[in-house]
Amino acid sequence: PTPFISMLRVRPLFIPEQTKNPYIAVEVIDKQTVIFRHEINQGLKSITKDKLYMCTKVIPPVGKTNQILSKGILDLVNDSFKGFSQSVFIIGGKFSGKTHTFLGNINDPGLAFQISRALYQQKQKIFINSKIFVSFFGFENGFRDLLAFTGHYLEHVSTQNGCYLPGLAQIQCNEYHDFLCGLKCALKNDGKRDINRSPFTSFFKEFLGGKGKSYVIGNCSPFIYDLEYSMRTVRQIQWSFKSTCNPQQNFWQGNVQESFKSNFYKTIQFFKPQQ
């Protein structure tokens, strides 16, 4: 069994938050530990106060997105080319910094760009003959194809080999520029996602203690009035820190192109729920 790679990113206080209440409720102790220091209870259990929470890595408020995976990006990319399913979960409450971690900005690119850039760099250096196929989908009351949305939702199918979405569009992106064009189109058609719906969690069940390798990245706010959301996120991160999965290598059988069309073979999955 392989442990989950669980990380926690604590964002800095925004200027309006500093004006309203400069007290920091989430304090980074070291590279693996955070602690809650709240002065008001807000109806929460008192045992949470001054309790240490651990994970694989903690990114402090002054940290950059490239510190989240750092050298681990190459391991993630190389394992994907070798046939291991990879999943990157980005979780957190409202205004916790999920979008910044996922997309970032010019000075601090998000994981979507860092991982995809590393993917194409390794393809040019080592895996020259490999082909990259990309799909984008969203979830709001049902699965929506973000590349070719027809107004109808996709029905997910569960089998012994995993879950897949028949009819989900896949485009071949052998150049980084092609991937960026697909991502731009998907973000334009993006919608809210609800992680509490059973079809969505069912689709990702193989990454939650199943056959895939999972990276769980929590984003939390140190603002005192976001304390409840931050506590939920940190508890989920600590749960993943103590959990394990059993990654298994995917082997091709039959027609490779048909396997891509059926979406049985999943490499890097990005998952950013909205609260």
Residue labelled with tokens 């082909």 = 131
H/E run at residue 164: strand 162-164
What's the length of the chain? 275
Q: Does 92 appear as a known binding residue?
A: yes
Binding site annotation covers 93? yes
What does each C-alpha distance from 66 to 59, 131, 148, 180, 221 come to in angstroms? 10, 26, 32, 19, 19
Residues 6+ apart with CB under 8 A from 164: 156, 157, 262, 263, 264
Give the pair of three-digit tokens for residue 263: 């979406």
* 249 within 8 A of 4, measured Cβ to Cβ: no
Q: How far is CA 75 from CA 72, 102, 112, in A?
A: 5, 19, 16
CA-closest candidate to residue 156, choices 199, 190, 186: 199
**71 known ligand binder:** no
Is 203 part of any known ligand binding site?
no
Q: Is 210 annotated as a binding residue?
A: no
Q: Is 98 annotated as a binding residue?
A: yes
65 is in an annotated binding site: no
**Binding site: which residues?**
92-99
**Binding site for ATP: which residues?**
92-99
